[in-house]
C-alpha cells in the first residue's frame, strides 16, 4: 500500500461516496459549504477543480492556475473534523509535466491523494490529446500514471470513461488497472456521449468484473446519474462497485449527502445561498467573477412558493450587496440571520 493510501481503507469500511471534481463548481468555498451540511457517513472524498499540469509547470502562469488547488483554513478544519479526504485532480498529455507538477503540488499543498483526469470530453481539451483522448492512447496513459506515481507517495487514482466513440470498457479497464492506480472512477458514458444519454451502469459493472478477474483489490467507484444516497446504495448493491461519485446530483440538492433529508424551508435554502455568496466574496473578491455564483443560485431558489421571482432577480445580481438586498426585501428576510443546517 502506498503511503497514506486511504482508498483501500475506505473500501474496507464501505461504501464510498465522493463529490465529483467540477469546473467552476468545486472550489474551496463550495466544497466547504457541502461539507457543512453533509453527514460524514455519506461523504468521504471531495475533489478540487481539474488543474492543468502545463499550467502548474509554467513559471509565470503557475500562481493563477494553482488557485484551483486552494484549500481555505476553514475548509481544512472541517475536512479534519469530519474525516473527509481531499484529492487534487490534474490533467494534461505530457508525462514529464505530470511528474514535475505533482512534485511541486506535493511541496506546495497538503492533499490526501492525486487524481488523473482521463474523462473530460470537452472538445478543446480533447484536441490537446488530454483527458478522455487518453482512452485512445493507452501507452501514453500508462506513462502518465507511472510518472505521477513516481513523483509522490500519495495515492494516485484515475477518473475516466468507458470509451471514445463506443464502449471499450473491458479492454480499457484492463489497460488502466495494469498501471496500478489507487482507485478507478468510471463514468458510465463514452466521450462522444458527453452527458446526453443516461449513464450505462451495466458497463460500469464490467469494470468490477475485470478487476476481480485480474485478482486486484483496487476500489472501483461508479459515476453517472446518482440521484440520491438511496439511489447510490442501490447502484452499489446491484453493480458491485465500492462506491459512487456524485456530480450533477448536487445541483438538484446541496443537502445530497444526508440520507435523512427533511424538507428545507425557504429561509433555510436562502440562508445557504447567503452563506455561499458571502464566503465566495470573502475568498475570491477581485479574483473570480461574481457571475459564477448565478449557476448556484438556481440550487437554492426552487421548490417553494414564490421561488421563481427571486430566482429571476438573483440571476441579474452583480455583487454581494444586491443579493443581500433581494433577500432583505423578500418574505424570507430572516434567512440573513438563519444558520444553514
Closest to 18 (Cα-Cα) out of 216, 209, 210, 187: 187
Closest to 87 (Cα-Cα) out of 128, 118, 45: 45
Find out whether 112 and 4 touch, Cβ atoms under 8 Å: yes
Mind spelling out the 3-state secondary structure of the chain?
A: CCCCCHHHHHHHHCCEEEECCCCCCCCHHHHHHHHHHCCHHHCCEEECCCEEHHHHCCCCCHHHHHHHHCCCHHHHHHHHHHCCEEEEEEECCCHHHHHHHHHHHHHHCCCCEEEEEECCCCHHHHCCCCHHHHHHCHHHHHHHHHHHHHHCCCCEEEEEECECCCECHHHHHHHHHCCCCCCEEEECCCCCCCCCCCCCHHHHHHHHHHHHHCCCCCCEEEECCCCCHHHHHHHHHHHCCCEEEECCHHHHCCCCCCCCCCCCCHHHHHHHHHHHHHHHHHHHCCCCCHHHHHHHHHHHCCCCCCHHHHHHHHCCCCCHHHHHHHHHCCCCHHHHHCCCC
CA–CA gap between residue 16 and residue 220 (Å, rounded): 10
Return the C-alpha cell found at 60: 509565470
Per annotation, catalytic residue among 57, 106, 120, 131: 120
Which residues, at least 6 apart from 309, have a Cβ–Cβ distance to it below 8 Å? none
Q: For residue 106, indicate whether it is catalytic.
A: no
CA–CA gap between residue 39 and residue 260 (Å, rounded): 9
Q: Any idea which residues carry the catalytic annotation?
A: 120
Amino acid at each position: 500500500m502506498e503511503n497514506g493510501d486511504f482508498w483501500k481503507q475506505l473500501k474496507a469500511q464501505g461504501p464510498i461516496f465522493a463529490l465529483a471534481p467540477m469546473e467552476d463548481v468545486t472550489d474551496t468555498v463550495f466544497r466547504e459549504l457541502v461539507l457543512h451540511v453533509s453527514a460524514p457517513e455519506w461523504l468521504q472524498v471531495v475533489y478540487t477543480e481539474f488543474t492543468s499540469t502545463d499550467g502548474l509547470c509554467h513559471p509565470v502562469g503557475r500562481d493563477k492556475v494553482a488557485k484551483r488547488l486552494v484549500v481555505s483554513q476553514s475548509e481544512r478544519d472541517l475536512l479534519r473534523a469530519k474525516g473527509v479526504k481531499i484529492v487534487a485532480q490534474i490533467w494534461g498529455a505530457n508525462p514529464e509535466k505530470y511528474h514535475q507538477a505533482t512534485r511541486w503540488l506535493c511541496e506546495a499543498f497538503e492533499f490526501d491523494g492525486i487524481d488523473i483526469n482521463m474523462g473530460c470530453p470537452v472538445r478543446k481539451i480533447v484536441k490537446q490529446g488530454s483527458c478522455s483522448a487518453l482512452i485512445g492512447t493507452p501507452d501514453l496513459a500508462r506513462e502518465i500514471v507511472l510518472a505521477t506515481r513516481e513523483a509522490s507517495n500519495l495515492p494516485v487514482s484515475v477518473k475516466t470513461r468507458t470509451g471514445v466513440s463506443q464502449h471499450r470498457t473491458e479492454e480499457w479497464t484492463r489497460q488502466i488497472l495494469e498501471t496500478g492506480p489507487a482507485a478507478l472512477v468510471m463514468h458510465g458514458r463514452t466521450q462522444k456521449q458527453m452527458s446526453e444519454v443516461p449513464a450505462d451502469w451495466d458497463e460500469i459493472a464490467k469494470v468490477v468484473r475485470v478487476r476481480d478477474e485480474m485478482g486486484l483489490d483496487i476500489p472501483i467507484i461508479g459515476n453517472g446519474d446518482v440521484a440520491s444516497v438511496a439511489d447510490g446504495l442501490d447502484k452499489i448493491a446491484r453493480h458491485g462497485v465500492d462506491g459512487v461519485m456524485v456530480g450533477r446530483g448536487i445541483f438538484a440538492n446541496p443537502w445530497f449527502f444526508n440520507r435523512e433529508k427533511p424538507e428545507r424551508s425557504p429561509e433555510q435554502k436562502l440562508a445557504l445561498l447567503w452563506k455561499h455568496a458571502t464566503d465566495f466574496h470573502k475568498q475570491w473578491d477581485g479574483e473570480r467573477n461574481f457571475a459564477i455564483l448565478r449557476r448556484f443560485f438556481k440550487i437554492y431558489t426552487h421548490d417553494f412558493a414564490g421561488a421563481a421571482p427571486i430566482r429571476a432577480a438573483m440571476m441579474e445580481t452583480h455583487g454581494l450587496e444586491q443579493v443581500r438586498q433581494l433577500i432583505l426585501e423578500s418574505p424570507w428576510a430572516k434567512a440573513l440571520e438563519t444558520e444553514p443546517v
